[in-house]
C-alpha cells in the first residue's frame, strides 16, 4: 500500500524532530512519498519589528533547510524521486489554513507536523495549529511530534 505524506517544515527544532521521527519510523520508504511543505503566513506586528533584513533573509534560509531535510530523507532510504519540496510564498492567514489548503489540493494519507511546547496562555492567544489540523482533517491521520 502506497503512503503519501505531507510534512509541514520550517527551520525550527520541532520540525527537525518531526523529520527525524519520519526517518526512524518509515520501515518501507520504497512504498512512501513525502512532500516537504513550507508556507508563509501573514506577518504579525512582532515579526514586523524584527526588521526587513531578517524577514528578507527568511526565504533563502528556509530553502536551504528544505534541501537539507530532503537530503536527510534520501540518506535514510527514500529515493530522490519520492521526496518533493513545496515552497509556497503567497502568505496564508494562518499556518493551519495553509496546511489544510495544500492537503486538499494534494492526495495525502498522512500529515506530519512538529509542535513546540506552549503554555496555556500562549495556546489561548496564538491558537494551536495541531488541534486545528486534527479537527479539520477528520478521517485523515495526523501525526503531531512534540519537541
Which CATH number belongs to the domain containing residue 19 in this structure?
Answer: 3.40.50.620
Structure confidence at residue 102 as a pLDDT band (50, 70, 90)? very high
2 in any annotated domain: no
Whether the per-residue pLDDT at 114 is higher than 70: the answer is yes
80 in any annotated domain: yes
5 in any annotated domain: no
CB 115 within 8 A of CB 147: yes
Model pLDDT, residue 124: 47
Predicted structure pTM score: 0.81
Structure confidence at residue 138 as a pLDDT band (50, 70, 90)? confident
Average pLDDT over residues 109-115: 89
97 in any annotated domain: yes
4 in any annotated domain: no
Q: Which domain holds residue 28?
A: 11-146
More confident residue, 90 or 28: 90
Per residue in 24-83, pLDDT tens?
A: 876 666 778 999 999 987 766 555 555 566 566 778 889 999 999 999 999 988 999 999
Lowest mean pLDDT, pick from 7-11, 48-52, 91-95:
48-52
Model pLDDT, residue 47: 55
Residue 131, classified by CB atoms within 10 Å of its CB into exposed (0-12), middle (13-18) or buried (19+), is: middle
What does the alpha-carbon distance between residue 83 and residue 120 come to, in Å, rounded to a whole number?
36
- Our count of domains for the chain comes to 1
35 in any annotated domain: yes
1 in any annotated domain: no
Model pLDDT, residue 119: 58
What does the alpha-carbon distance between residue 131 and residue 127 come to, in Å, rounded to a whole number?
8
Whether the per-residue pLDDT at 127 is higher than 70: the answer is no
Amino acid at each position: 500500500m502506497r503512503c503519501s505524506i505531507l510534512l509541514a517544515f520550517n527551520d525550527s527544532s520541532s520540525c527537525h524532530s518531526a523529520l527525524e521521527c519520519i526517518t526512524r519510523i518509515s520501515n518501507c520508504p520504497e512504498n512512501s512519498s513525502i512532500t516537504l511543505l513550507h508556507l508563509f503566513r501573514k506577518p504579525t506586528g512582532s515579526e514586523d519589528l524584527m526588521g526587513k533584513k531578517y524577514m528578507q533573509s527568511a526565504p533563502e534560509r528556509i530553502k536551504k533547510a528544505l534541501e537539507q531535510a530532503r537530503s536527510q530523507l534520501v540518506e535514510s532510504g527514500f529515493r530522490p524521486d519520492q521526496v518533493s519540496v513545496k515552497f509556497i510564498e503567497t502568505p496564508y492567514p494562518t499556518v493551519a489554513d495553509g496546511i489544510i489548503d495544500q492537503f486538499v489540493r494534494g492526495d495525502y494519507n498522512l500529515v506530519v507536523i512538529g509542535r513546540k511546547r506552549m503554555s496555556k496562555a500562549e495556546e489561548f492567544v496564538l491558537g494551536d495549529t495541531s488541534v486545528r489540523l486534527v479537527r479539520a482533517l477528520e478521517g485523515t491521520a495526523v501525526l503531531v511530534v512534540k519537541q
